[in-house]
Amino acid sequence: MDLPEILDTYLPRHWKPEGLSGGWTAVLWLAAILSEGNHRKVAVETSGAGMKQTLSQVSGQGIRVLDVSDDRLAHVLKHLSQSTSWHPIEPALHEHRLSVYDLPTEVTRCEVTTVSAGHDVVDGGLVQFGPSKDDPSRPQSNIMTASLDPLGLPLATNVLSGEQADDGFSIPLLDRVIKGLDKSGRLVVGDCKRRALGIRTDRVGQRPYYPSPLPLTGATAQQIPQWISQGLAKAQTGELASIVKSTDTGQEVEVAQGYEIKRVGEAQDPRVPGSGPSAGW
């Protein structure tokens, strides 16, 4: 993946030009996390002290214990955690690994989850009290990820404070994905919160397809029973469209039947073409 070289392109280096670069320091830290199951800085230095020869042979780099000291790791982490450093690194990684593995990039899935924690809640911190399906008595953070579907390869991740609603999280995340993959006309899959008017109007200029379930609230909840009745009636008369999928053996199998309607959204912005009509069932 050329991870050390990509990181070195964007990470500043403040120590003297001796020993490992910041990119190789980060790679050794990742190796220590995977092998030791411990992300603490002190664990990296301890692990590196006993594996200098092995790590040098595997990496082709001359490695000293000083190269994975607390100061070096803290410097790398400081810059990796800043958006000004990470945002240009992200598309560079996408470009290289998608080129190497020739992965399909047509479908992107956006999902958000909450992570509860036992941290103290402080003003402006990531860990805050908010709507939680796990344990409302515990503070949490919000984590949104955009990934290639169905592979599940992460493309971009945002960690946000736990008191926020996640409706608008996907807009800056998708902007980073589109920039990183440099491809338009993609299919973006998400849950019903992705149907918020602000999200749909923001995506109009970039023309992605944006399927998501209808929320069971407001006028939609009242209309869904009627749509289901219409679908059942169309099934009796053979008017439903068949949706098929190819199996691993090349056999075409029907996976669903359905029909399509158009409806006017709850609000329309005349300045944004397509902000009103919305595809239904």
Q: What is the pLDDT of residues 88-98, one digit of tens each?
A: 888 888 777 76
Of the residues 204, 239, 265, the one at which a domain ends: 204
Q: What percent of the chain has pLDDT over 70?
A: 79
Q: Considering the domain boundaries, does residue 92 fall inside one?
A: no
What is the span of the domain harbouring residue 275?
Answer: 218-279
* pLDDT attached to residue 237: 93
Summarised one tens digit per residue, pLDDT across range 27-51 is 888 888 888 888 788 777 777 667 7
pLDDT band at 281 (very low <50, low <70, confident <90, very high): very low
Do 126 and 198 share a domain, yes or no? yes
Say which residue the tokens 């329309």 belong to.
268
Summarised one tens digit per residue, pLDDT across range 189-213 is 777 776 666 666 666 655 566 677 7
Asked if 144 contacts 110 with a C-beta cutoff of 8 angstroms, the reply is yes
Q: Virtual CA dihedral for 124, 199, 267, 131, nearest 10 degrees?
A: -40
Q: Considering the domain boundaries, does residue 198 fall inside one?
A: yes
* Long-range Cβ contact pairs of 219-227 (< 8 A, separation 24 or more): 219/266, 223/263, 227/261, 227/280, 227/281
Do 112 and 193 share a domain, yes or no? yes
Do 228 and 175 share a domain, yes or no? no
Do 123 and 200 share a domain, yes or no? yes
Q: Considering the domain boundaries, does residue 179 fall inside one?
A: yes
pLDDT band at 168 (very low <50, low <70, confident <90, very high): low
Summarised one tens digit per residue, pLDDT across range 97-135 is 766 666 777 788 888 888 888 888 998 888 899 888 778
Asked if 91 contacts 105 with a C-beta cutoff of 8 angstroms, the reply is no
Of the residues 33, 49, 83, the one at which a domain ends: 83
Q: Considering the domain boundaries, does residue 142 fall inside one?
A: yes
* pLDDT attached to residue 73: 87
Query: Smallest Cα–Cα separation from 281: which of 255, 266, 262?
Result: 262
Do 188 and 236 share a domain, yes or no? no
pTM score, whole prediction: 0.56
Do 155 and 230 share a domain, yes or no? no
Do 116 and 183 share a domain, yes or no? yes
Of the residues 204, 227, 257, the one at which a domain ends: 204
Q: Considering the domain boundaries, does residue 64 fall inside one?
A: yes
> How far is residue 279's CA from residue 263's CA, in Å, rounded to a whole number?
7
Count up the domains in the chain and report the number: 3
Q: Considering the domain boundaries, does residue 93 fall inside one?
A: no
> How far is residue 47's CA from residue 44's CA, in Å, rounded to a whole number?
5
Do 15 and 76 share a domain, yes or no? yes
Do 131 and 198 share a domain, yes or no? yes
Q: Considering the domain boundaries, does residue 230 fall inside one?
A: yes
Do 169 and 245 share a domain, yes or no? no
Q: Considering the domain boundaries, does residue 232 fall inside one?
A: yes
- More confident of the two residues 266 and 5: 5
Do 17 and 77 share a domain, yes or no? yes
Do 189 and 233 share a domain, yes or no? no
